[in-house]
Amino acid sequence: MTKTVHLAVYDTFSDWEPGFATAHINRPLWHREPGEWQVRTVGATKDSVVSMGGMRVTPDLTLDELSPADSAMLILPGSATWESGELNAFAEKARAFLAAGVPVAAICGATFGLASAGLLDGRKHTSNAAEYLAMSGYSGGEGFVYEPAVTDGDLITASGTLPVDFARAILGRLNIFEPHILEAWYLLYGKNDPAGFFTLAEYEESRAAATA
């Protein structure tokens, strides 16, 4: 059965922030169960949007069509419009996901949107800076953790400058890789350590031999 992760898209969404996560969710090479995962985009409407990097994306479905029951996770990237309240509908969808026990992953400006909606109150979380979130007027400042990415139950938050750490938290929460493969993946992409590459290559070879 295919499991779907939904990526929220809106004008000026920061395309690099979820990129490591979505690429390796869609790429089955090192998955526990290849072919089990896919990514679909969700927008306020089905009108195309343009990312901060100038990429035009046409959403696969709308927020109204998205049900937590049909999703394994909602990923919310940053954008230039979270602080204005323009994306409140996405924060409300995140509220519905969390209430249903379906994970939400937010990075950069999206953490500000969730803070404004009260969704970080009572949860451990992070963002670009504690002072940044404080500007939202939220009441959850005591839960701020100075880490690249923080997982608290069904909520993942991360700094916008650390997309690899964000991806590691997402891949780990979804249990897509075996633990030692996730560790090797992070060594390669997060630490530029060639030891990670060789572990992943050996894993590929062993999988290929097992299916030969």
Catalytically annotated residues: 108
Strands across the sheet with 37-43, in order? 61-62, 37-43, 3-8, 73-76, 104-107, 155-158, 149-152
Q: In terms of Cα–Cα distance, which of 101, 43, 105, 46 is closest to 69?
A: 101
Tokens, residue 205: 């070879």
Q: Left (φ > 0), alpha (ψ -120 to 50) or beta: where does 153 sit? A: left
Q: Which amino acid is at 175?
A: N
